[in-house]
Structure 1
Amino acid sequence: MSTLPATMRAHAFKTNGGPEVFESIELPVPGLDDRSVLIEVAFAGVNFAEVQHRRGEFGEPDGPGGYDVPGLEASGCVVAVGDGVTEVRVGEEVAAYLPAFGGYAQFAVTSADFVRPVGALPLEVAAGVPCVYPTAYGLVSDVGRLRAGDSVLIHSASGGVGGAAARIARASGARHVFGTVGSPAKQPAGYDALFSREAFADQVLEATDGRGVDLVLDPIGGPVRAASLQVLAPFGRVAVFGDQGRHDDWTEDVWALWKNSRAVAGYNIGDVARRAPATIGGHLERALAALASGELPYEAPSVVPIAEVAEVHRGFEAGERSGKTVLRVG
């Protein structure tokens, strides 16, 4: 640690609000404990959860100096490790999930449970993997229990998790992969059909000859979540992983679930990271290998200088961005 600088440049916020609250400031370089890995960040992935973080949906800033640094995923080079770390070594290029945030900075620290070598994958691509792909694997495999021959419907199909889940579902033997989009201008690849999010139910039933789909992945909530139940095949599941629509709390009658042989399940990567951290590390390792080998295809992310982070967040809130966006930090 003695060869590292004492401070680092970070893009952070001291008050919750719109994108204008971002500041470029100096903060102390994070310290290590026995299981920590310190990474010099090259690229940081951008996720909608970071918009929620900035807006105050996870609470008020309480980091060093009263500032919070967003960023759930990053790639870069390991510069220091704790005494108990064996998964990676100093000098290795890695991707890392950051459950406590911190990716929008020159250096970030996280548990070795959430850090894996990138192998042959380019660092800018790897930066968009650590949060998105473990979430997608968790939704498709752990919660969704997708089997070969199943059909799946993915809301927010043009988003990072949506695109990753579509690739994973296809590789897992899904018969049909459908998606919904909020704007007709968004036409992501990899789907058998795309439907308007405002009027998808009849279209899904028509596309499946009235049977419905076996699995729905829903980060939207509200009316979209309610309508998703109506397009489920027998024993179908709605896997919930967000509330981007900022709707009031959604409820469903258990009697109706029972009578119609339906299920609703949830996936929260923060909860899994706290209670089953090895699951996140395993999915991250699997994803990096599958992307590097070509088993899972990928599109190059949009790379934006970190100085433009406020504009990137504005685009996310306006629903103008699709695919994966990463910030060039180093």
Structure 2
Amino acid sequence: MAFSRTGGPEVLHLIDLPTPTPGPGEILLRVAYAGVNYGEIQHRLGDFGEPDGETVTGLEAAGVVAAVGEGVAGDPSVGDRVAAYLPDGGGYAEYAVVPAAFAFPLPDALDLRTGGGAALVLTTAYGVLAGAARLAPGDTVLIHAAAGGVGGVAAQLARTLGARAVYGTVSTPEKAEYARAAFGYDEVFVRDAFPQAVRAATAGRGVDVVLDPVGGPTRQASLDALAPFGRVAVYGEAARHPDLHLPVLPLWKNNRTLTGYNIGDLARRAPETLRAHALNALRLAAEGAVRLDITEEYDLPDAAAAHHLLGEGRNKGKTVLRVGGA
């Protein structure tokens, strides 16, 4: 599924391209499942730049290693099952080239369907909690977009990493009910007026950590929900608001921290850190400490329908594309 111009889901179309060849330090992945993420919507809309000819999106996938490039010795090997993060896209296809450093061995306890939605989502959730937010045992956490792919696993990972209480915000009461039942939040609030709800739930103290992929007014209001030395960890801009221009003095005077997590930057500047986050998160998933709730599955030619679902905010849990199957 490719696009040659930016626009709505209708710009996605099936196309036949030559099977790519892995270069030095790369592997060729025969894709079984690919995850669907808001990042791919941003790619399609042009947030990452204009497409250069026919462009295949898809930031995570799982499958079997079909070939390895020069310099890839033993890990992974041809025939290995891997979950892969694709920093330059390419997952919405039968074959994708992946940097070997971002092809993560898939534990036996996880099937390829789960792996297809894991590499970006689990890695991001683990990285934003353990890396950007510096989550400590006993911390309280608020997660925006609590019913989504990252939000759902972040709630579970936060518990595993020692959080004392985990709260969430969502856009509708239906999503709040789903998130409570599926992911074990202490409470889930509809996002309107959430700072007051957080202060009430924490006896006025606020939370130690806020995870924010939304942006705009939600990000601004999140600062008011922080306890002393609390951190707002930014990892997305789903609402596509203009960037905030925040004064620094209120951060200082109210003992607040604003931090960020960007998996693309880690891929460029600290790939070993990204890999460590991914392997830790996959291990926890294999041990049963965190569960990826796949609620929607589409065939690859129906990728536009999956994009409609996410773009309209109707998604719950994780959405995947079936490419080659299990």
What is the aligned partner in structure 2 of residue 253 from structure 1? Answer: 247
2:88 aligned with 1:100, yes or no? yes
2:301 aligned with 1:312, yes or no? no
Q: Deviations over 1:66-97 (max 9, x none)?
A: 11101000000101011211321001111100
**Contact 2:35–2:60 (CA under 8 A) maintained in structure 1:** yes
What is the aligned partner in structure 2 of residue 153 from structure 1? Answer: 142
Q: What TM-score, normalized to structure 2?
A: 0.95
**Contact 1:273–1:280 (CA under 8 A) maintained in structure 2:** yes
Q: Share of identical aligned residues, percent?
A: 53
Structure 1 runs, 4 residues or longer, greater than 6 Å off: none
Q: Root-mean-square deviation (CA), in Å?
A: 1.0
Q: What TM-score, normalized to structure 1?
A: 0.94
2:132 aligned with 1:138, yes or no? no
**Contact 1:155–1:216 (CA under 8 A) maintained in structure 2:** yes
What is the aligned partner in structure 1 of residue 186 from structure 2? Answer: 192
Q: Offset at 1:199?
A: 1.4
Aligned residue type for 2:16: E
**Contact 2:294–2:319 (CA under 8 A) maintained in structure 1:** no
Give the match's secondary structure for 2:289. coil
Give the match's secondary structure for 1:310. helix
**Contact 1:32–1:81 (CA under 8 A) maintained in structure 2:** yes
2:23 aligned with 1:26, yes or no? no
**RCO (CA 8 Å, sep 6+): is it higher in 1 or 2?**
2
2:59 aligned with 1:72, yes or no? yes
Give the match's secondary structure for 2:29. strand
Q: Deviations over 1:242-287 (max 9, x none)?
A: 1111111102111110000001011111001100011121122222
Q: Residues of 1 paired with 2:214 and 2:256: CA distance?
A: 19
Q: Deviations over 1:280-300 (max 9, x none)?
A: 211222222221121323434
Distance 1:300 1:16, change over 3 A: closer
**Contact 2:126–2:278 (CA under 8 A) maintained in structure 1:** no
Give the match's secondary structure for 1:152. strand
Distance 1:164 1:16, change over 3 A: same
Q: Residues of 2 paired with 1:303 and 1:314: CA distance?
A: 13
Of residues 95, 100, 103, the one that matches 1:112 is 100
Q: Residues of 2 paired with 1:26 and 1:298: CA distance?
A: 31
**Contact 2:127–2:261 (CA under 8 A) maintained in structure 1:** yes
Q: Offset at 1:301?
A: 4.5
Q: Residues of 1 paired with 2:216 and 2:70: CA distance?
A: 47
Q: Residues of 1 paired with 2:289 and 2:306: CA distance?
A: 30
Q: Residues of 1 paired with 2:47 and 2:128: CA distance?
A: 23
Aligned residue type for 1:69: V
Give the match's secondary structure for 2:199. helix
Give the match's secondary structure for 2:147. coil
Q: How does 1:1-330 map to 2 (within 5 A)?
A: 11-62=1-52, 66-86=53-73, 87-120=75-108, 121-186=110-175, 187-188=178-179, 189=182, 190-330=184-324
**Contact 1:124–1:303 (CA under 8 A) maintained in structure 2:** no
What is the aligned partner in structure 2 of residue 5 from structure 1? Answer: none
Q: Residues of 1 paired with 2:252 and 2:196: CA distance?
A: 23
Aligned residue type for 2:238: Q
Distance 1:301 1:286, change over 3 A: farther
Q: Residues of 2 paired with 1:114 and 1:147: CA distance?
A: 27
**Contact 1:73–1:103 (CA under 8 A) maintained in structure 2:** yes
Aligned residue type for 1:322: K
Which ranges of structure 2 fall in alignment gaps of 5 or more residues? none
Paired residues in the alignment total 317
